[in-house]
């Protein structure tokens, strides 16, 4: 039955870990596959050296090894047995890119983060990469900062934001005095500064408030640093108002956002920041550090969230509650619903193929 459909391979990294990009890629592929216009399957580069296939509700996921040499031969095998028409890469990957070029496949590249833009990759490796990138059929730059760089080298480019599949209008009286930090505990996410901000700016003005820290904090993810994690945990000594939940599933994250009043998001570098639109979808107000350039695509200061220019800038609980009551977070989130974003992707796939 799939012979009459174009086949699209989606490629992600570390689906088994706390990867927002991998979750986005998997959800996009499975939803487009279920609509029936295209046949999609997923390749996941896992953190070990496993090569296996599995199915979830009829949707195929192929896990390929982390080792580059093994991964190359696994991908060659997949490309031989699968009649792939388009390779959708969610975050640049050298080995897959090479195999895709060897098999003359059309490439849809999602540039997920500054540092994986065309100029940064060519500086890290070779200027030859600018020619290599000219072979991309289409580039989703994901955010304005990436778009401004990559646009110099291709006309087949646009910004297609990440998406959410749940949007709910949550009233202020359904909220608790709960605040969140979500993401891997690491220096890039500025977990230490986020905890300090809660201690110095929120707990002092709202007695009884609680902070939940959600995300991996032990060995097994790329940015793990035991010294940094220990530094973060030193702030928790003697405090009962800060809880470490560790890694939880997506439904649990959304349930926490539904109850929480604000998200502290001080990451120094992101590709998009899906947690921001997830937060908006549950009327949880994002508080973002001003140097996070990609957040400007989503957040308008004082309208659907807040930017702070330093960790001493305190946002009052009254300001936070006012935004929740306004309903504007819900209205903003609807723009990012998966149904709208999928229609954009399907139109582009049709154009490319």
CATH number for the domain harbouring residue 314 = 3.40.50.2000
302 pLDDT band, cuts 50/70/90, is very high
Query: What are the tokens at 157?
Result: 């480019």
SS3 of 92, please?
coil
Considering the domain boundaries, does residue 77 fall inside one?
A: yes
The tens digit of pLDDT for each residue in 26-38 reads: 999 999 999 999 9
Considering the domain boundaries, does residue 166 fall inside one?
A: no
- Quick one: 152 and 291 in the same domain? no
- Quick one: 320 and 347 in the same domain? no
pLDDT at 128 over 70: no
State how many domains the chain has. 2
- Residues 262 and 317: their CA atoms lie apart, in Å, by 9
pLDDT at 124 over 60: yes
Under a CB-based contact definition with an 8 Å cutoff, are residues 341 and 163 in contact? yes
pLDDT at 1 over 50: no
Under a CB-based contact definition with an 8 Å cutoff, are residues 284 and 306 in contact? no
Considering the domain boundaries, does residue 302 fall inside one?
A: yes
- Quick one: 315 and 347 in the same domain? no
- Residues 146 and 120: their CA atoms lie apart, in Å, by 10
- Residues 42 and 24: their CA atoms lie apart, in Å, by 12
SS3 of 99, please?
helix
- Quick one: 326 and 186 in the same domain? yes
Considering the domain boundaries, does residue 135 fall inside one?
A: yes
Average pLDDT, integer, range 102-119: 91
pLDDT at 72 over 70: yes
pTM of the model: 0.85
- Residues 279 and 179: their CA atoms lie apart, in Å, by 11
Considering the domain boundaries, does residue 238 fall inside one?
A: yes
- Quick one: 180 and 299 in the same domain? yes
pLDDT at 47 over 80: no
The predicted structure's pLDDT at residue 303? 96
DSSP class per residue in 117-167: SHHHHHHHS-THHHHHHTT-SEEE--SHHHHHHHTTT-SSEE-----BS--
Q: Which helix (H) or strand (E) holds 256?
A: helix 250-259
- Residues 90 and 227: their CA atoms lie apart, in Å, by 31
- Quick one: 279 and 345 in the same domain? no
Instruction: Round the average pLDDT of the chain to a whole number and report it.
Output: 91
- Quick one: 209 and 274 in the same domain? yes
pLDDT at 239 over 60: yes
The predicted structure's pLDDT at residue 274? 86
pLDDT at 11 over 90: yes
Domain coverage including residue 68: 2-161+337-352
- Quick one: 52 and 72 in the same domain? yes
Strand partners, 213: 181, 244
- Quick one: 264 and 181 in the same domain? yes
pLDDT at 162 over 80: yes
The predicted structure's pLDDT at residue 243? 97
Considering the domain boundaries, does residue 126 fall inside one?
A: yes
- Quick one: 179 and 142 in the same domain? no
Query: What are the tokens at 158?
Result: 């646009």
- Residues 242 and 180: their CA atoms lie apart, in Å, by 10
Q: What are phi and psi of 337, to 5 degrees?
A: -65, 145
- Quick one: 203 and 329 in the same domain? yes
SS3 of 184, please?
coil
Q: What are phi and psi of 340, to 5 degrees?
A: -70, -45
Nearest to 289 by CA among 197, 169, 155: 197
Considering the domain boundaries, does residue 167 fall inside one?
A: no
Q: Worst-scoring range by mean pLDDT, 20-24, 107-111, 277-281, 314-318?
A: 20-24
Chain-centroid distance, C-alpha 204 = 32
Considering the domain boundaries, does residue 220 fall inside one?
A: yes
- Quick one: 145 and 201 in the same domain? no
Percent of the chain with pLDDT over 90: 73
């Amino acid at each position: 039955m799939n012979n009459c459909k174009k086949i699209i391979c989606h490629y992600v990294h570390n689906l088994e870990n706390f990867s927002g990009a991998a979750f986005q890629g998997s959800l996009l592929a499975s939803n487009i596959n279920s609509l029936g216009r295209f046949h999609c399957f997923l390749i996941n580069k896992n953190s070990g050296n496993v090569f296996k296939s599995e199915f979830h509700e009829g949707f195929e996921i192929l896990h390929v090894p982390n080792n580059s040499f093994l991964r190359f031969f696994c991908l060659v095998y997949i490309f031989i047995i699968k009649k792939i028409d388009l390779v959708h890469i969610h975050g640049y990957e050298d080995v897959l890119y090479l195999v895709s070029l060897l098999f003359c496949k059309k490439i849809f590249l999602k540039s997920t983060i500054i540092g994986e833009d065309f100029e940064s990759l060519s500086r890290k490796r070779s200027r030859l990469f600018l020619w290599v990138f000219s072979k991309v059929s289409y580039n989703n730059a994901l955010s304005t900062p990436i778009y401004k760089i990559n646009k110099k080298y291709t006309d087949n480019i646009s910004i297609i934001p990440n998406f959410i599949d749940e949007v709910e209008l949550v009233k202020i009286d359904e909220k608790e005095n709960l605040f969140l930090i979500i993401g891997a505990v690491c220096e890039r996410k500025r977990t230490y500064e986020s905890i300090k901000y809660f201690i110095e700016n929120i707990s002092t003005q709202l007695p009884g408030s609680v902070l939940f820290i959600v995300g991996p904090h032990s060995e097994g993810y790329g940015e793990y640093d035991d010294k940094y994690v220990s530094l973060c945990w030193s702030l928790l000594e003697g405090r009962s108002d800060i809880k470490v939940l560790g890694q939880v599933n997506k439904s649990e994250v959304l349930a926490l956002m539904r109850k929480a009043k604000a998200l502290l998001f001080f990451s120094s570098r992101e590709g998009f920041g899906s947690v921001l639109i997830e937060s908006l979808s549950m009327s949880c107000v994002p508080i973002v550090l001003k140097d996070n350039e990609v957040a400007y695509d989503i957040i308008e200061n004082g309208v659907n969230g807040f930017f702070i220019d330093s960790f001493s800038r305190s946002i009052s609980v009254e300001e936070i509650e006012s935004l929740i009551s306004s309903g504007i977070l819900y209205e903003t989130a609807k723009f990012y619903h998966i149904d709208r974003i999928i229609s954009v992707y399907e139109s582009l796939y049709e154009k490319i193929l």
